[in-house]
Amino acid sequence: MKNEIEKIWDDVLVKLEQEHDVSSAAINAWIKPLHIKDVQSNKIILSLDAKYDERGIQFIKKKMYDFYISLAISDLTGKKYDIEVELEKDGEKPKQTPAATPEHDNNNLNPRYTFDTFVIGDNNRMAHAASIAVAEAPAEAYNPLFLYGGAGLGKTHLMHSIAHYIIEHNSSLNVLYVTSEDFTNEVINSIQHKKQEELRSKYRNIDVLLVDDIQFVIGKESTQQEFFHTFNALYNSKKQIILSSDKPPKELDVLEERLRSRFSWGLPVDIQPPNYETKVAILRKRAELDNIYIDDEIFDYIATHIKSNIRDLEGALNKIKVYSKLNKKPIDLELSKIALQDLIDNKTKQAITPELIMQTVAEHFNIQTSDIISKKRSHDIAYPRQICMYLCKKMTDQSLVKIGEIIGKRDHSTVIHGIEKIEKDLEKDPELSKVIEVITKKMD
Ligand SMILES: Nc1ncnc2c1ncn2[C@@H]1O[C@H](COP(=O)(O)OP(=O)(O)OP(=O)(O)O)[C@@H](O)[C@H]1O
């Protein structure tokens, strides 16, 4: 049993990062030093590297990493295990330590996040170009470079790419990548242990500072202060600063004005969600890097069904890989659909509401949503209204009474009549089936 868990350990780590938002830095620092000591019928015992002490275990529990590991394992194996973490005794370390991916080098950088593996699309072209400019000529092109955009769209990937590039091409420069969480913790520790001077001199000796998710310093008084001074010191000495955030500087509302304006000094540049073609290109690249062959129809299926972000796209691909491995079946479209069932069904169900149905039907028939809920009885309005009733019953969890209420306060016998009318027409009118199919697709 231990073997089986060891086999999927890499996938557990990927899941922690992709689905439970455990940062790659945290995986490196806290999950990699865990070894699978024993697997019992419903319990897995993990031991934490002897270099740590009890506080390490407390931290893992506090951050709920044990809970996320248990979730990831149950997701992958379909079986629920409790996770127990204990401290490894010196010399006890098992020989077979599970390999950990993603690996991180000494600089806390994911080796996979480089310019070579970054797919350029319309959504990120400018951000990519600016990143290259900064990597080639630190502190000369844009300072600070401020990358912003929604979650999982590639900001961290670009930041690591810049850092890798500079380390490789300009080895004399002192490059530091931190998340704002790391930075905050360093500030707190320095205050606690009265080592603020040490922290300041560390940060002021850096040539290229990259701080990921800077929005998290907002509201943390001392951290903001410290960052403000670090920023000024580096900027005035013509050192490169690269920041990422979920919003542009002007929308970081609660941030002190003096920091907000500094963030806009250089180049704020956004990353947007990818379009269909870019999504497919990213999936292809990912499969190529993982050395697996995946048919285009599967990429098409993922790209049309996963609408959120690139992390979720990769998560979907990963789910398919793991499902095929566990079930020892080749990857085809049918297997992919089964593997992604939960992911996709949930998302569709959540998104489709009676309001969305009314809006889509109205658009399709070139009428107003207000017509649908109105008292009008002409065929060009009443028929789309009945289609709405039919689709609400089919695609939402609403009761007939509720559907009637939403569609213009109609009683439930009117709703039943409407649904039956459409069901009957569907039996004899292939054109209507097509109309329903098109409307359903529009909501997908
Ligand atoms: N253009 C791209 N080409 C290839 N992979 C990409 C691209 N954009 C994002 N990815 C991949 O998507 C995943 C999520 O990206 P990343 O962690 O950089 O997002 P982020 O914008 O930093 O998100 P967050 O704000 O949540 O930290 C990563 O595995 C990354 O490699």
Quick one: pLDDT at residue 362?
Answer: 94
Cβ-based neighbours of 406, under 8 Å, separated by 6 or more:
354, 355, 358, 373, 392, 398
Q: Ligand 1, closest atom to CA 310?
A: 12
Check pocket membership of 306 for ligand 1, CB cut-off 6 A. no
Within 8 A by CB and 6+ apart from 404, the residues are 389, 410, 411, 412, 414, 415
Residue nearest to atom 18 of ligand 1 (CA): 154
Cβ proximity of 421 and 386 under 8 Å: yes
Contact present, 36 and 94 (Cβ < 8 Å): yes
Enter the tokens of residue 405: 């209420």
Written as tens digits, the pLDDT of the chain (444 aa) is 777 888 889 889 988 888 888 887 778 778 888 999 999 888 999 998 877 778 788 888 888 889 999 999 988 888 889 999 998 876 665 544 444 444 555 678 999 999 999 999 999 999 999 999 999 999 998 999 999 998 899 999 999 999 999 999 999 999 999 999 999 999 999 998 888 899 999 999 999 999 999 999 888 888 999 999 999 999 999 999 999 999 999 888 777 888 888 998 888 999 998 998 999 999 999 999 888 889 999 999 999 888 778 999 999 999 999 888 888 889 999 999 999 988 876 554 456 889 999 999 999 999 999 999 999 999 999 999 999 999 999 998 889 999 999 999 999 999 999 999 999 999 999 999 999 998 988 887
Is the C-beta atom of 153 inside 6 A of ligand 1? yes
192 C-alpha to ligand 1 centroid (Å): 34
Is ligand 1 within 6 A of the CB of residue 274?
Answer: no
Residue 156 labeled ligand binder: yes
State whether the beta carbon of 147 lies less than 6 angstroms from ligand 1.
Answer: no
ipTM confidence = 0.98
- Listed residue (302, 258, 261, 294) closest to 278, CA to CA: 302
Q: What is the pTM of this model?
A: 0.62
pLDDT of res. 91: 61
Q: Which two tokens stand for residue 103?
A: 């690996």
Report pLDDT for 100.
Answer: 40
Nearest to 215 by CA among 144, 275, 149: 149
